[in-house]
Amino acid sequence: MAETKPPPSASPAEAPAAISVRVLFFASLADLMGERRRNLNLPAGSTIADALRDMATDVPDLAVRAPHVSFAVNEAFVTADAPLSDGDELALIPPVSGG
Amino acid sequence: MAETKPPPSASPAEAPAAISVRVLFFASLADLMGERRRNLNLPAGSTIADALRDMATDVPDLAVRAPHVSFAVNEAFVTADAPLSDGDELALIPPVSGG
Amino acid sequence: MIVELTSDPIDVPRLIEHVNQPSNGGICTFLGVVRDNAEGRPVVKLGYEAYESMAVAQMRTIVEEAMQRWDLDAVALSHRTGELQIGEASVAIAVGAPHRAEAFEACRYIIDTLKTRVPIWKKEFFQDGAVWVEPVSSQPSTQ
Amino acid sequence: MIVELTSDPIDVPRLIEHVNQPSNGGICTFLGVVRDNAEGRPVVKLGYEAYESMAVAQMRTIVEEAMQRWDLDAVALSHRTGELQIGEASVAIAVGAPHRAEAFEACRYIIDTLKTRVPIWKKEFFQDGAVWVEPVSSQPSTQ
């Protein structure tokens, strides 16, 4: 995770110009992504939708799946327009089938 | 039970002039009656209501309890106007509380 | 199908095992257990008396009704008789079904119906006496 | 309260024991068990994967909701992870309540709600492949 350090900010008192988010993939999405987690660097102010667009450049099928995916930030369900903060844990949650 | 044999009938081909019924008492009714079973001799054509009237001569409180009692003849629920036949098993069933 | 009256403690895992058949995806069980109070009054123990042959016949009829109505292939129903201590199960029902809705509904039907028309009676023992429980609303219907 | 994910077989008697408290008169349990088929297609085994920390947190929230809504003092909820064979329990719920209506309703609420918003996924293994089960209707709502 050392490589995800944000670039130095022009004004250290402000929010960083970039954020680093840990993204978790489960079940069919782990299969799709070929991994269970990745660290993602995004511009400050990015939302979950922005993160999805970023990852879909690698894996275009993620955009196809996105309408059927729920999202959790730091283990709480949120909608795709939720903003991300540096250090957040974003989970992509396919339709659940426990029980 | 040998003593409950009905008297000889005038016409052996017809139903006997008297019937013998085995009556079972449970729970609070066994407490009330002071017994768990008795054999009852009744005129042919008697109903459960007739049997109750007969037994209430011994135990008047039975008449008080009767509206809250259900009846089974040979293990099937029936109403108080059901006729009794020789050899029937009549159960007086107080409100049930199993489970 | 298991339908039984027993004076021994009910073996709940055995009932569950009985209904755990390969085609079933859900098992609902209900246990009636002896509470330490009756509407707030401390209970020492319970006693159950049954019109045994008729009780078993009625229990079987209720189970058969449930199996037909919800298309079930496995139900187990056991009821205790005699003296029970606090925490012991007086009745246990296990219903297996392909899907959970049927398992819940059939299990609920069996306990609700048992309480209205199976000839079993409960006696509550208190510190200073005992009473037969006779719910005013549980008069069996004629059928 | 017992709320757990476990890779070991679920100890159902332990869950029942946990909710069998002296003030409770009824215990409802639900077991989800591995069926031998999925809509008719033979199933060999199942696999369950969870977002473990969030799953346990969601399970605890659901149990707390049920305990508050039905005024319960004892609920147990256990969910398996990993590989399960036919007949094994994938989930077990035990709810104790003074009266049976609350026990049934709370137990049903917990399994129904668990299936809509606890991040656990089931993989069905067939003779010739495996699929993640993704119900179209089970999209967790935002909350």
- Going by their DSSP bridges, the two strands C129-132 and D82-84 should be labelled as unpaired
pLDDT for the residue C140:
53
Write the ipTM.
Answer: 0.88
pLDDT for the residue B2:
44
pLDDT band at B17 (very low <50, low <70, confident <90, very high): confident
Average of per-residue pLDDT across D7-26: 97
Please give, rounded to a whole number of angstroms, the shortest distance from the CA of C31 to a CA of chain D: 5
Beta bridge partners of A23: A38, A90
Assess whether pLDDT exceeds 70 at residue D143: no
Tell me the average pLDDT of chain B: 89
pTM: 0.90
Q: What DSSP line would sit under C125-136, residue for residue? A: EETTEEEE---T
Q: B21: domain range?
A: 17-93
d(CA C136, CA C143): 19
SS3 (DSSP) at A26: coil
Do the beta carbons of residue D102 and residue D70 sit within 8 Å? yes
Chain C positions in Cβ-Cβ contact with residue D34 (cut-off 8 Å): 25
| Contact yes or no, B with C (3+ CB pairs under 8 Å) | yes
More confident of the two residues C75 and A10 = C75
Name residue C10's amino acid: I
Assess whether pLDDT exceeds 50 at residue B30: yes
Tell me the average pLDDT of chain A: 89
Please say whether the dihedral angle defined by the alpha carbons of residues D62, C89, C48 and C68, taken in this order, is positive or negative: positive
Residue A11 lies in a domain: no
**Cβ separation D27–C24 shorter than 8 A:** no
Chain B positions in Cβ-Cβ contact with residue C117 (cut-off 8 Å): 77, 96
The residue in chain C having the minimum alpha-carbon distance to the alpha carbon of residue B24 is: C51
d(CA C88, CA C46): 10
- Going by their DSSP bridges, the two strands D120-126 and D129-132 should be labelled as antiparallel
| Residues 86-115, chain C, touching B (beta carbon < 8 A) | 90-91, 111, 114-115
d(CA D85, CA D93): 19
Average of per-residue pLDDT across B59-77: 97
**Domains in chain A, number:** 1
Structure confidence by residue, pLDDT tens digits, C105-120: 999 999 999 999 999 9
**Class of residue D85 by CB neighbours under 10 A (exposed 0-12, middle 13-18, buried 19+):** exposed
Report how many Cβ contacts below 8 Å link chain A to chain D.
89
Name residue C31's amino acid: L
Structure confidence by residue, pLDDT tens digits, C77-93: 999 999 999 999 999 99
Do the beta carbons of residue C49 and residue B26 sit within 8 Å? yes
**Cβ separation C20–D87 shorter than 8 A:** yes
Assess whether pLDDT exceeds 50 at residue D59: yes
pLDDT for the residue A95:
97
Does the beta carbon of D36 lie under 8 angstroms from any beta carbon of chain C?
Answer: yes
Neighbours of D35 (CB within 10 A): 20
pLDDT for the residue B14:
59
Does the beta carbon of C48 lie under 8 angstroms from any beta carbon of chain B?
Answer: yes
The domain segmentation of chain D, as residue ranges, is 2-130
Chains that touch C (3 or more CB pairs under 8 A): B, D
pLDDT for the residue C127:
96
Mutate to test the interface with C, among D10, D14, D19, D30 (most CBs of C within 10 A): D30
Chains that touch B (3 or more CB pairs under 8 A): C
Please give, rounded to a whole number of angstroms, the shortest distance from the CA of D128 to a CA of chain C: 20
Task: Indicate which CATH number applies to the domain containing A31.
Answer: 3.10.20.30
pLDDT band at C142 (very low <50, low <70, confident <90, very high): very low
Q: What are phi and psi of A76, to 5 degrees?
A: -120, 135
What tokens were used for A61? 């099928």
pLDDT for the residue A49:
97
pLDDT band at C74 (very low <50, low <70, confident <90, very high): very high
pLDDT band at A16 (very low <50, low <70, confident <90, very high): low
d(CA B91, CA C51): 9
Residue A98 lies in a domain: no
Residue B3 lies in a domain: no
Residue from the list C32, C91, C119 with its beta carbon closest to the beta carbon of B96: C119
Average of per-residue pLDDT across A60-81: 97
- Going by their DSSP bridges, the two strands D2-6 and D74-80 should be labelled as parallel
d(CA C73, CA C19): 8
**Cβ separation D134–A28 shorter than 8 A:** yes
pLDDT band at C136 (very low <50, low <70, confident <90, very high): confident
Chains that touch D (3 or more CB pairs under 8 A): A, C
Residue A85 lies in a domain: yes
- Percentage with pLDDT > 70 across chain D: 95
Long-range CB contacts (< 8 A, 24+ apart) of D11-16? D11/D78, D12/C13, D12/C16, D12/D89, D12/D92, D12/D94, D13/C12, D13/C13, D14/D76, D15/D76, D15/D78, D15/D92, D15/D93, D15/D94, D16/C12, D16/C31, D16/D76, D16/D94
Neighbours of D42 (CB within 10 A): 11
C2-130 in CATH: which number?
A: 3.90.1170.40
- Percentage with pLDDT > 90 across chain D: 94
Write the DSSP symbol of residue A15.
P
- Going by their DSSP bridges, the two strands C45-50 and D45-50 should be labelled as unpaired
Average of per-residue pLDDT across A67-78: 97
Residue B31 lies in a domain: yes
SS3 (DSSP) at D67: helix
Q: What value, to the nearest 5°, has the Cα angle with vertex D94 and ends C10 and D23?
A: 75
d(CA C104, CA C108): 6
More confident of the two residues D32 and B2 = D32
**Cβ separation C134–B78 shorter than 8 A:** no
**Class of residue D33 by CB neighbours under 10 A (exposed 0-12, middle 13-18, buried 19+):** buried
**Class of residue C80 by CB neighbours under 10 A (exposed 0-12, middle 13-18, buried 19+):** buried
The residue in chain A having the minimum alpha-carbon distance to the alpha carbon of residue D54 is: A75
Average of per-residue pLDDT across C115-131: 97
Kindly give the residue spans of alpha helices, DSSP state H, lying in chain C: 12-19, 52-69, 100-117
